[in-house]
Amino acid sequence: VVVLLHGFMANRWLLVLLANRLRRQGWQTSLWGYPSLMPSVLKHGERFAKRLSELDAAAGVTRIHVVAHSMGGIVTRAALCHGTPAKFGRLVMLAPPNRGSFVATATAGLMGSVLRPVAELTTHPESLVNRLEEPAGIEVGVIAAGHDQLVSLDSTRLAVPHSHTVVPCMHSALLFRRDAALLTAHFLQHGTFDFPQATLQAP
């Protein structure tokens, strides 16, 4: 099963097209939503860890993969701090602010006290996202948006070993592009973004 998470100020319905494309590639999908504006990323991580634990215990599930957009990738990192499920497979992060978002940094003074995730996702070295444990020991693929208006390319990267590729689009457009879906499916299947470029026809 592939569990899909959305990002900040979004909802799970934005994941429907990507989920449908993954299902056409043969994957069983599940959309996981959370109220992204108010509670801490750590609270969302606790809830998602419980969901992963439920799937891990389910008799009909043999492998658990996660595809997470934007802040959803950080929620996944927070969840994995509670332990990696035995059935956990691969993680694809779409435009993740792994080193923070420059927009969060610019707006934290104004909104950070009300919208806690904004303060937690700044590029400051001591922000939550920059202190959070990274997902070691699993296969991680990062798909960055080449024209991202929220997260720099450098900020999408992790310190731990991972695969990285760039799709020429804006931050949220990754959810709707055919090439991003093909790259995601390929990584889930093979653990690599080494995909014939001729087949990656956008959108």
Q: What is the DSSP string of 69-117?
A: ETHHHHHHHHHHTT---TTEEEEEEES--TT--HHHHHHHHHHTTTSHH
Q: What is the pLDDT of residue 21?
A: 97
Calculate mean pLDDT across residues 168-194: 96
148 Cα distance to chain centroid: 15
CB 140 within 8 A of CB 162: yes
Cβ(36)–Cβ(10) under 8 Å?
Answer: yes
Taking alpha carbons only, the member of 99, 59, 65 closest to residue 80 is 65
Looking at every residue in the chain, the average pLDDT score rounds to 94
**116-143 average pLDDT score:** 95
CB 29 within 8 A of CB 22: yes
CB–CB of 77/134 below 8 Å?
yes
pTM metric for this prediction: 0.94
Flag the least confident range among 73-82, 108-117, 162-171.
108-117
More confident call, 75 vs 201: 75
Instruction: Please answer whether residues 189 and 26 qualify as being in contact, where contact means their C-beta atoms are separated by less than 8 angstroms.
Output: no
Residue 198 has pLDDT above 50, yes or no: no
The yes-or-no verdict on residue 201 having pLDDT over 60 is no
Residue whose pair of structure tokens reads 């701090």 in the numeric block: 81
User: What pLDDT is stored for residue 38 in this prediction?
Assistant: 81
Place of tokens 């939550």: 128
Q: How far apart (Å, rounded) are the C-alpha atoms in residues 77 and 90?
A: 13
**Average confidence (pLDDT) over 75-101:** 98
User: In the prediction, which pLDDT does 195 show?
Assistant: 73
Please report which helix (H) or strand (E) contains residue 32, including its range: strand 29-32
The sheet with strand 163-167 has its strands ordered as: 29-32, 2-5, 64-69, 88-94, 139-145, 163-167
Q: What is the structure's pLDDT at 112?
A: 64
36-82 residue pLDDT tens: 888 899 999 999 999 999 999 999 999 999 999 999 999 999 999 99
